[in-house]
């Protein structure tokens, strides 16, 4: 079973995100960068499948030099090798542009199964997995909280509003992760030491045979015109009350007569 | 040049989901902005007269894709069927709801058409003929105004945000031949929650609990029941095993926009705020007056949630009776 996992380096979810001077991007300094939490689930699931069925786990990422940290983290968790598409022409793409690069990188690898996060918690696009599968001409199943590899196919528990649907697809296939799929392991110290010696193949857009005009910032179809902070709420109105019952009554009165929500 | 809007509705078991009305209403507004027609797509199997129910919301044409292969949502069958009928409609904008189904379909369709997709938008406006979408990023810590180059522009709108508006007009109903093409995926089982529960992303009211509940969600369930709402949870409550993952509101959970969000014993980590900041009114109940949640709330009470919640429930019941 050859498994490919797509990973992305993103700002930690507890970090404060600030708008850069251009008004269209974020300040990249002073941010703690981590592996996208949904991608951690993907790496873990790939390792568990490999442990059960044998095979290899290859992690693929598009990003600047720094993104190699995320590949090393995945290697330290137990992945076998990494592919890093590191090229200025690959930077600043929208999900479709990035998926083109990832699909081209995966095409050069043996794969039966591709796993990635349902979304990256930076731009929250929920698109890359489906697009990579489309470009590779394979089925995908998104938002998967449980996966079983059967003979030549995958059975996935896909979370939808109000329940779960169990979907099967023949391999090769791609699925995207949902929380609850597993608890990702931490890299052990020996794992971290071993990861330093594991191979990371570095590729450029030219190596992948792609036209630079179709990827990265040049290939963007969704163009960010402006970033802004969410609208400020008015200052909180604290509701006093000598007793919990009095405060509760006052809150419900306000919600009923002023906010007209009850 | 294409100036129409194609709005894709979502139904389950022969009933439109709330987001279907939101998408058609928003589709009408965008179509008016572009001075173009609105085509509404209804997809499924054995749909009967379902299309009639959407007529009151402003469609010029309703495309009914009714085929046994579309009985359950499957990415490949739905993408193939839509891609086959899109060229005839030639829309400038394709609109969907950013539900589990809509997000999945929008993403695959965008790649199939090599078209730009603005996901999970909270506002769409037409300005001098161009469509500008507002979408939260970084879990709502930032909002981006984006434009989409090329045709069609695919826009998925966040459920529970776009106002539903009636706009009756005479709509032509068209039932083209459905081409589902090669379908590789199969739905083998459906495991649905017990009925009667309000779905988190469709709820008008959410009563949500964090570490401060100590795992006791009973008073929250009772208030939610009194308000006809749903119960949510913070990541720490889910990590403790008090609630299932599907209840988690936050940057790594569900993103919700109810009219009223009541945060009970939730400190207000950035991660959590990201999932609920587009709620219309936020109420915070916490015993710690310094809890960061109060800075993001409209109304706050400092106190013990186990005393406050039963009192609030009683006061709500008094008004409702």
Query: What whole-number percentage of chain A has pLDDT above 90?
Result: 94
Write phi, then psi, for B103 (nearest 5 degrees).
-65, -40
CA B321/CA B318 separation, integer angstroms: 5
Distance from CA of A166 to the nearest CA of B (A): 5
The answer to whether A135 contacts B111, with C-beta atoms less than 8 Å apart, is yes
- Structural tokens at position A93: 């793409």
Give the neighbor-by-neighbor strand order of the sheet with B93-97. B117-121, B153-157, B93-97, B5-8, B38-44, B61-66, B172-174
Q: Is B160 touching A (CB cutoff 8 A)?
A: no
Tell me, letter by letter, the H, E, C secondary structure of chain A: CEEEEECCEEECCCCCCCECCCCCCECCCCCCEEECHHHHHHHHHHHHHHHHHCCEEEEEEECCHHHHHHHHHHHHHCCCEEEEECCHHHCCCCHHHHHHHHHHHHHCCCCCEEEEECCCCCCCCCCHHHHHHHHHCCCEEEEEEEEEEECCEEEEEEEECCEEEEEEEECCEEEEECCCCCCCCCCCHHHHHHHCCCCEEEECCCCCCCCHHHCHHHHCCEEEEEEECCCCCCCCEECCCCCHHHHHHHHHHHHHHHCCCC
Give the mean model confidence (pLDDT) for residues A15-40.
Answer: 94
- Structural tokens at position A7: 């990973």
- Structural tokens at position A44: 């873990």
Residue B196 has pLDDT above 80, yes or no: no
Q: Which architecture characterizes domain A2-219 according to CATH?
A: 3-Layer(aba) Sandwich (3.40)
Tell me what pLDDT residue B321 has: 87
Residue B157 has pLDDT above 90, yes or no: yes
- Structural tokens at position A197: 């010696």
> Which residues of chain A make contact with B187, given a CB cutoff of 8 A?
165-167
Distance in angstroms between the alpha carbons of the first and the last residue of chain B: 56
Write phi, then psi, for B59 (nearest 5 degrees).
-75, 145
> Which residues of chain A make contact with B136, given a CB cutoff of 8 A?
124, 230
Q: Is B270 touching A (CB cutoff 8 A)?
A: yes
* From B150, B201, B303, residue closest to A247, measured CB to CB: B303
CA-nearest of A55, A71, A48 to A3 is A55
CA A190/CA A48 separation, integer angstroms: 18
* From B147, B274, B281, residue closest to A225, measured CB to CB: B147
The CA-based diameter of chain A, rounded to the nearest angstrom, is 72
Give the mean model confidence (pLDDT) for residues A10-26.
Answer: 93
A 175-234 → B contacts, CB under 8 A: 178-180, 220-230, 233-234
CB atoms within 10 A of CB A219: 21
* From A17, A237, A251, residue closest to B312, measured CB to CB: A251
Q: Is B117 touching A (CB cutoff 8 A)?
A: yes
DSSP-H helix ranges across chain B: 18-34, 75-89, 100-113, 218-227, 235-239, 270-276, 293-296, 305-320
* From B112, B149, B192, residue closest to A163, measured CB to CB: B192
The answer to whether A180 contacts B244, with C-beta atoms less than 8 Å apart, is yes
* From A38, A94, A124, residue closest to B139, measured CB to CB: A124
* From B137, B296, B299, residue closest to A123, measured CB to CB: B137
Rounded to 10°, the helix A95-107/A128-136 angle is 50
Q: In sequence order, what E strands does chain B have?
A: 5-8, 11-12, 15-16, 38-44, 61-66, 93-97, 117-121, 123-127, 130-137, 142-148, 153-157, 172-174, 186-192, 205-209, 230-233, 260-264, 281-286, 299-302
The answer to whether B311 contacts A249, with C-beta atoms less than 8 Å apart, is yes
B 186-205 → A contacts, CB under 8 A: 186-193, 197, 199-202, 205
Residue A38 has pLDDT above 80, yes or no: yes
Check: CB of residue A259 under 8 Å from CB of residue B281.
yes
CA-nearest of B103, B23, B21 to A129 is B103
CA B250/CA B57 separation, integer angstroms: 32
pLDDT tier, B198 (very low <50, low <70, confident <90, very high otherwise)? confident
Could you give the ipTM of this predicted complex? 0.96
- Interface probe, candidates A6, A12, A13, A223, chain B, greatest B C-beta count within 10 A: A13
Distance from CA of B82 to the nearest CA of A (A): 15
CA A95/CA A221 separation, integer angstroms: 9
- Structural tokens at position B25: 């209403």
**Which pLDDT tens digit goes with each residue over B7-17?**
999 999 999 99
Residue B140 has pLDDT above 90, yes or no: no
> Which residues lie below 8 Å from residue A29, measured CB to CB, with a gap of 6+?
none
- Interface probe, candidates B10, B78, B100, B206, chain A, greatest A C-beta count within 10 A: B100
**Which pLDDT tens digit goes with each residue over B221-252?**
999 999 999 999 999 999 999 999 999 999 88
Q: Is B228 touching A (CB cutoff 8 A)?
A: no
CA distances, B293 to each of A80, A236, B2, B270 (Å):
43, 10, 46, 9
- Structural tokens at position A134: 């489309």
What are the residue boundaries of the structural domains of chain A, listed by start? Answer: 2-219, 232-262
Check: CB of residue A112 under 8 Å from CB of residue A136.
no
Query: Which domains are assigned to chain B?
Result: 5-174 (3.40.50.620), 200-320 (3.40.50.1220)
CA-nearest of B289, B257, B255, B285 to B272 is B255
> Which residues of chain A make contact with B278, given a CB cutoff of 8 A?
230
Three-class SS state of B29: helix
CA B126/CA B119 separation, integer angstroms: 17
The answer to whether A230 contacts B136, with C-beta atoms less than 8 Å apart, is yes
Mean pLDDT across chain A: 96
According to DSSP, the residues that pair with B16 across neighbouring strands are B11
CA-nearest of A117, A112, A1, A4 to A51 is A1
Give the mean model confidence (pLDDT) for residues B114-143.
Answer: 95
Torsion, CA A75, CA A177, CA B249, CA B193, rounded to 10: -150
The answer to whether A139 contacts B76, with C-beta atoms less than 8 Å apart, is yes
The answer to whether A124 contacts B120, with C-beta atoms less than 8 Å apart, is yes
**Which pLDDT tens digit goes with each residue over B27-56?**
999 999 999 999 999 999 999 999 999 999
CA A198/CA A60 separation, integer angstroms: 14
The answer to whether A143 contacts B244, with C-beta atoms less than 8 Å apart, is no
Residue B64 has pLDDT above 80, yes or no: yes
CA distances, B266 to each of B259, B297, B300 (Å):
18, 12, 12
HSE-up (13 A, CA, CB side) for residue A195: 21
Mean pLDDT across chain B: 96
> Which residues of chain A make contact with B200, given a CB cutoff of 8 A?
161
**Which pLDDT tens digit goes with each residue over B307-319?**
999 999 999 999 9
Residue of A nearest to B147 (CA): A223
The answer to whether B142 contacts A238, with C-beta atoms less than 8 Å apart, is no
pLDDT tier, A95 (very low <50, low <70, confident <90, very high otherwise)? very high
Tell me what pLDDT residue B79 has: 98
- In angstroms, how far is CA B298 from the centroid of its own chain? 23
The answer to whether A167 contacts B114, with C-beta atoms less than 8 Å apart, is no
CA A117/CA A115 separation, integer angstroms: 7
Q: Is B169 touching A (CB cutoff 8 A)?
A: no
CA A85/CA A104 separation, integer angstroms: 10
B 30-69 → A contacts, CB under 8 A: none
Tell me what pLDDT residue B243 has: 96
Query: What whole-number percentage of chain B has pLDDT above 70?
Result: 100
Tell me what pLDDT residue A15 has: 84
> Which residues lie below 8 Å from residue A189, measured CB to CB, with a gap of 6+?
none
């Amino acid at each position: 079973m050859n498994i490919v996992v797509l990973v992305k380096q993103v700002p930690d979810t507890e970090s404060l995100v600030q708008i850069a001077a251009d008004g269209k991007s974020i300040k990249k300094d002073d941010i703690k960068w981590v592996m996208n939490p949904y991608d951690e689930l993907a790496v873990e699931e790939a390792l568990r499948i490999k442990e059960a069925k044998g095979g290899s786990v290859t992690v693929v990422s598009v990003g600047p030099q720094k993104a190699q940290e995320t590949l090393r983290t995945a290697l330290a968790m137990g992945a076998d090798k990494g592919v890093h598409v590191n090229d200025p022409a690959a930077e600043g793409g929208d999900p479709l542009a990035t998926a083109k690069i990832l699909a081209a990188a995966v095409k050069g690898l043996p794969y039966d199964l591709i796993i990635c996060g349902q979304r990256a918690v930076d731009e929250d696009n929920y698109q890359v997995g489906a697009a990579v599968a489309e470009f590779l001409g394979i089925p995908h199943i998104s938002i998967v909280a449980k996966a079983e590899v059967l003979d030549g196919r995958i059975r996935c528990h896909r979370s939808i509003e109000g329940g779960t649907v169990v979907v099967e697809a023949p391999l090769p296939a791609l699925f995207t992760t949902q929380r609850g799929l597993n608890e990702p392991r931490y890299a052990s110290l020996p794992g971290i030491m071993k990861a330093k010696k594991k191979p990371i193949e570095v590729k450029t857009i030219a190596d992948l045979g792609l036209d630079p005009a179709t990827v990265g910032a040049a290939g963007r179809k969704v163009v960010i015109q402006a970033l802004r902070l969410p609208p400020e709420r008015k200052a909180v109105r604290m509701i006093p009350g000598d007793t919990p019952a009095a405060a509760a009554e006052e809150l419900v009165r306000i919600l009923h007569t002023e906010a007209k929500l009850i | 040049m294409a100036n129409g809007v194609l709005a894709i509705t979502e139904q389950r078991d022969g009933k439109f989901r709330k987001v279907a009305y939101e998408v058609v209403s928003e589709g009408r507004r965008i179509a008016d902005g572009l001075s173009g027609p609105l085509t509404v797509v209804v997809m499924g199997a054995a749909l009967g007269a379902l299309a009639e129910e959407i007529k009151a919301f402003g469609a010029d044409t309703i495309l009914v894709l009714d085929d046994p292969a579309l009985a359950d949502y499957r990415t490949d069958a739905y993408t193939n069927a839509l891609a086959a009928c899109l060229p005839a409609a030639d829309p400038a904008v394709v609109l969907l709801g950013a539900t589990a189904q809509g997000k999945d379909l929008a993403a695959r369709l965008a790649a199939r058409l090599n078209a730009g997709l603005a996901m999970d938008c909270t506002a769409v406006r037409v300005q001098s003929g161009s469509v500008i979408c507002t979408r939260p990023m970084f879990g709502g810590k930032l909002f981006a105004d984006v434009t989409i180059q090329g045709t069609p522009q695919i826009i998925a709108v966040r459920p529970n945000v776009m106002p539903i508006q009636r706009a009756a007009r005479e709509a032509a109903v068209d039932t083209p031949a459905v081409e589902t093409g090669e379908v590789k995926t199969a739905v083998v089982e459906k495991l649905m929650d017990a009925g009667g529960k309000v779905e988190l992303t469709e709820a008008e009211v959410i009563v949500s609990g964090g570490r401060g509940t100590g795992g006791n969600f009973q008073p929250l369930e009772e208030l939610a029941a009194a308000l006809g709402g749903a119960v949510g949870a913070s990541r720490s409550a889910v990590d403790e095993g008090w609630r299932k993952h599907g209840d988690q509101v936050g940057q790594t959970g569900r993103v919700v926009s109810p009219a009223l969000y009541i945060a009970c014993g939730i400190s207000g980590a950035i991660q959590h705020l990201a999932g609920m900041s587009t709620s219309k009114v936020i109420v915070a109940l916490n015993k710690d007056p310094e809890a960061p949640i109060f800075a993001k709330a409209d109304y706050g009470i400092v106190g013990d949630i186990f005393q406050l919640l039963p009192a609030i429930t009683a006061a709500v019941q008094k008004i409702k009776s």
